[in-house]
Amino acid sequence: MTAEPGPSSVRLRRLRRTPRLREWVAETRLSARQLVLPIFVRPGRGPPIAVESMPGVDRLSVDDAAVLASRAVDDGIGAVLLFGLPRRKDPAGRDALAPDGAVPRAIRAIKDARPEAVVATDVCLCAYTSHGHCGILREGQVDNDATLPRLARMAAVHARAGADVVAPSAMMDHQVAALRSTLDREGFERTAILAYAAKFASAFYGPFREAAESAPSEGDRRGYQLDRRNGREALREIAEDLGEGADIAMVKPALPYLDVLARARARFDAPLAAYQVSGEYAMIKAAAARGWIDEPTAVAESLAAIHRAGADLIVTYFAREWAAGEREETQ
Ligand code: PBG
């Protein structure tokens, strides 16, 4: 016989009675330090340009991007993730490799203002190519191996400008290895790689494509991003990227793929990140604007779920909002 109290004496509600009790027994605690704020940087001066499908998100000049990054640091947010817009688009996405592009300039501006800021950059060609695909096209198909050196060069340009972390998101096979070897060869062995390892072809990227002006003009990304039906394949992608030298592996989008995140957590010891993407943000914003859901609670609940499922780090457009709520609660 067991000494355990029988089922009739178990009352799980006892520890839910007051806020203090609930806080005391909370199994997970998310902190602003674990959040990453995405920032869209555009060439040229002038005021912020709103992204219609992402209320509260703007395309910013280099100077404004540095101001926002500095606020994020003040808010206690762990890192920023920069996305760039080009001066001009062409089939090869040449502006992505320009040392005086919006992203390298923003990295320098942020590091000048706040040397302690952790700066990550997205490494992908889709915002820079005239066709909007993530790599170089040959006969209508994205040419994996011809794309690799260009992604590696882009990452090296960001590293030279001072990026702490580069985040390849093109879903090209061997992109992590390509970045790692170029970075190491050029003296950037200290630059970390956050791999968008398990990136699914998703309808939830829709609003981002407005922000980054990166919707493919023809076709879609299913030829290189993961199929929504495949969890095991996502784990193979993560294993592959970690094997190629990724320091952090990311699952994206977050909420529809929490199972992948949980399985990855059980299998890998590397830091895991999840990206609460533009469509996840837009859904909450749109419903809240109509008064259909309570925004702060929906944000807190979705981020807690992503954290509970196994993400150490969360990329979210709600980072500042969540951090403000955290400050309020702890006062
Ligand atoms: C670039 C990239 C995308 C996102 C991040 N990096 C879009 C895409 O693959 O179309 C999506 C981010 C978001 O939706 O918030 N390849």
What single DSSP character describes residue 78?
A: -
Please say whether the beta carbons of 80 and 39 come within 8 A. Answer: yes
Q: Is the pLDDT of residue 156 over 90?
A: yes
What is the band of 216 on the pLDDT scale with cuts at 50, 70, 90? confident
Q: Is the pLDDT of residue 331 over 60?
A: no
- Cβ of residue 128 lying under 6 Å from some atom of ligand 1: no
What atom of ligand 1 comes closest to residue 206's alpha carbon? 14
Q: How much is the pLDDT for 197?
A: 95
Q: How much is the pLDDT for 249?
A: 98
Beta strands in the chain (DSSP E): 35-41, 49-50, 58-60, 79-84, 119-123, 137-138, 141-142, 165-168, 192-199, 248-252, 272-276, 313-316
Q: Could you report the per-residue pLDDT of 192-211, keeping only the tens digit for each?
A: 999 999 999 999 999 998 88
- Cβ of residue 213 lying under 6 Å from some atom of ligand 1: no
Q: How much is the pLDDT for 1?
A: 53
Which domains are assigned to the chain?
Answer: 28-330 (3.20.20.70)
Q: How much is the pLDDT for 13?
A: 96
Q: Is the pLDDT of residue 5 over 90?
A: no
- Cβ of residue 210 lying under 6 Å from some atom of ligand 1: no
> Is 111 marked active-site?
no
Q: How much is the pLDDT for 103?
A: 98
Cα of 131 vs centre of ligand 1, distance in Å, is: 15
Residue of the nearest CA to atom 14 in ligand 1?
205
Cα of 170 vs centre of ligand 1, distance in Å, is: 9
What is the band of 3 on the pLDDT scale with cuts at 50, 70, 90? low
Cα of 141 vs centre of ligand 1, distance in Å, is: 19
Please say whether the beta carbons of 36 and 319 come within 8 A. Answer: yes
What is the band of 183 on the pLDDT scale with cuts at 50, 70, 90? very high
- Cβ of residue 126 lying under 6 Å from some atom of ligand 1: yes
Mutate to test the pocket of ligand 1, among 57, 122, 124, 208 (most ligand atoms within 8 A of CB): 208
Residue of the nearest CA to atom 5 in ligand 1?
169
> Is 252 marked active-site?
yes
Which segments of 114-267 does DSSP mark as H helices, in order?
A: 144-161, 175-185, 206-211, 231-243, 258-267
Cα of 328 vs centre of ligand 1, distance in Å, is: 31
In order, the DSSP letters of 151-179 are HHHHHHHHHHHT-SEEEE-S--TTHHHHH
103: nearest Cα among 122, 125, 76, 129: 122
Cα of 218 vs centre of ligand 1, distance in Å, is: 17
Mutate to test the pocket of ligand 1, among 124, 125, 147, 171 (most ligand atoms within 8 A of CB): 124
What is the band of 330 on the pLDDT scale with cuts at 50, 70, 90? low
Q: Is the pLDDT of residue 2 over 60?
A: no
Q: Which amino acid is at 66?
A: A
- Cβ of residue 134 lying under 6 Å from some atom of ligand 1: yes
Q: Could you report the per-residue pLDDT of 53-101, keeping only the tens digit for each?
A: 999 999 999 999 999 999 999 999 999 999 999 999 999 999 999 999 9
Q: pTM for the whole thing?
A: 0.96
